[in-house]
Copies of this chain bind each other. A is one copy, B any other.
């Protein structure tokens, strides 16, 4: 078996969300150009992705939405449930804990960790905060496989290594530090780069070029 490219996984996740919204609104089928328009990508890209999912069937009325959602789930979801821990429960950690418990997802927030004794033992979005010293014990007991890293930058690499040693298989890194841990999947969320990217395209001269291209 081969892993899908990262960009493809991202698009499948986005397709599913958009398709679910259509289904909730009572729509039963969709054409590739409609789905493409909803996601601001090309219809060719959509059709290629849908072929890759192994979809077949009549297309006179477009693709069956329920069928597509089911196919995407088979490809990107785990058969069992996947459990998440948040490490570092500052403002951002709290926002993410909130988000995870409020939004329906197949991923279950199972623990949060901090090294601040004022936070340890407290409840965040219904989840108890553990002492980071017990990271390995709790991760293994709860069978947590995904870690969200919202610790101070200086601790990022050390904690990422501990997460790997505890058996974590994937990390979302919200710190600005590049993590140097091999053998597990690391998704880097980089606030500064996002900001500098938007700032570049929002320079008045560049913004004028963008605007020109939209006319």
Contacts and interface: CB of A to CB of B under 8 A. Distances in A.
Contacts of A211: 183-184
| Number of chain copies forming the complex | 2
Q: Which bucket holds chain A's interface residue count?
A: 35 or more
A133 interface: no
For A40, A96, A182, A201, the residue with the greatest tally of chain B CB atoms inside 10 Å of its CB is A201
Interface string A167-185: 0111110001010001111
A78 B199 contact: yes
A194 B209 contact: no
Contacts of A17: 176, 192-193
Interface in A1-45: 1-4, 6, 9-10, 13-14, 17-18, 38-40
Given A13-B192, A38-B178, A192-B13, A198 B214 contact: no
Nearest to A190: B14
Interface of A: 1-4, 6, 9-10, 13-14, 17-18, 38-40, 76-78, 82, 84, 90-92, 94-96, 98-100, 103, 105-107, 145-146, 168-172, 176, 178, 182-185, 187, 189-207, 209-211, 214
